[in-house]
Amino acid sequence: MRNSRQRSSNLSPAAKAAQTPRHASIESLDQEGRGVAHVDGKVIFIEGALPFEEVLFVSHHVKSTYELATATEVLKASSQRVTPGCAYFGICGGCAMQHLEFSAQVAAKQRMLENDLWHIGRVKPAKILPPIQGTPWHYRHKARLRVRYVEKKGGVLVGFNEKGSSYVTFMDSCEVLTQPVSDLILPLKALIGQLSVKQSLPQIELAVGEDATVLVLRILEALTEADVALLKTFEEAHGVQMWTQTKGPDTVKPLFDHGDKLHYSLPEFGLEYPFNPTEFTQVNPAINRVMIRRAMQLLQPQAGERIADFFCGLGNFTLPIARSGATVYGVEGAQALVKRAIENAGLNGVTNVEFAESDLFDMTPELLLALGAFDKWLIDPPRDGAIELIKALPEAEDPNDSHAPSRIVYVSCNPSTLARDAAILTQVKGYRLEAAGVMNMFPHTAHVESIAVFEKD
């Protein structure tokens, strides 16, 4: 009720009139997992509605061409509607699609990918890859939890933000975090309530490895000796490691010495990856393993080839590619990750790799040409995509076209930027989109992770 009151107070008279429930027939899902309908010539994005449903809705954000709304009643339910598995769904902003049957979520994400490829990139893959999917619950090994001390709500709140709000969800468990971490939410509330810094602790970043779980407390004031003693007791009681962060990433450090270090492994390739809790790793290690296998099948690295791994991070793809015998050149913009990648290569005895630090968002044709010719590329960019890198490729009629890779495997966490880059690859750079498909890295969210392979014509 609090959120709806706040939203109403900021609406215009016309928007307030829209608070009377209206009827809509839902046509599809958008990129946020909201139902899409057309009412009175406007596009309405409706939270809590599914395709082919008839709903009543009220709008909370009204513009001339579209409205954002919430379903107040489902008049005709979809056959794919299910009871959410989490008691906090609809309040917590962590998940958007728990009310949609699991396999239907994956199919919806595949449609989102195909729609973006066509409507943004004007390209269709020759083949749709079978989706990669895993367990729907307790898959998440990394997360940032908000913390807030609210005396009126009985003390400390630990969880994700409420949907569309900066408030912290009142929650005692989480069905997408690993079960041991979910079980820590209640004890964490009790612990933080006893700390002197409880009003200066806005965030806990968690990372789960194969042999260790780390909780990084973002603290804005110094801990007292009593605080440190409480944290030590919590560590020993729950088998976790307590770290702190006082300012930037370079201030992240453990409170106490520990034997077990964070790491994940890729047994198929005989690889192990140590990492620090705030370094980027995939949140879903089971899907990560299958994703790497799929990438290797599409890339088909061969001994004697020279392959580039752009946005290589700590070597998640670089080292498996190198196991093929190919010479691999990994490029990453974050200095700390480049250092970590070099360390991981050494730890695993991989010598046919080289790593370099470079801002790939400032790539130019001249800089790319200076790297030399590559037989193949693997690209795994952030949500912004790889536009400058793609634009730096020689065009089909360019004399330097021989430097262009024959195959590009593109791992994407944003289908719209993948589609944008695919348009340039297929319409300017002389590639064809051979295959594309989704990977359900984040079940119950609207986040679409995908993989595509481009071949040089």
Binding residues for [4Fe-4S] cluster, as ranges, are 86, 92, 95, 174
Helix (H) and strand (E) counts in the chain: 12, 22
Set 409, 413, 448, 451: catalytic member: 413
Q: How do 431-439 and 449-456 pair as beta strands?
A: antiparallel
List the structure tokens of 315: 């070597």
End-to-end alpha-carbon separation of the chain, Å? 57
Give phi and psi for 380, each to the nearest 5.
-135, 70
413 annotated active-site: yes
Q: What pairs with residue 69 in β-bridges?
A: 46, 59
Closest listed residue to residue 443, CA positions, set 193, 149, 111, 95: 95
In eight-state DSSP terms, residue 268 is G
Determine how many CB atoms are found less than 10 A away from the CB of residue 264.
20
Closest listed residue to residue 359, CA positions, set 339, 336, 388: 388
- E-strand ranges in 132-219 read 142-150, 155-159, 203-208, 213-218
Query: What sign does the dihedral 195-199-201-204 (CA atoms) show?
Result: positive
Q: Give the residue numbers of the binding site.
A: 86, 92, 95, 174, 282, 311, 316, 332, 359, 380
Q: H or E element: which one contains 83?
A: none
Angstrom distance (rounded) from CA 272 to CA 315: 11
Instruction: Choose among 456, 436, 308, 307: nearest CA to 395.
Output: 456
Q: Distance between CA atoms of 152 and 145, rounded to whole angstroms?
A: 20
- In angstroms, the CA 394 to CA 7 distance is 50
Residue 40 CB neighbour total at 10 angstroms: 7
Q: Binding site residues for S-adenosyl-L-methionine, as ranges? A: 282, 311, 316, 332, 359, 380
Catalytic positions, written as ranges:
413
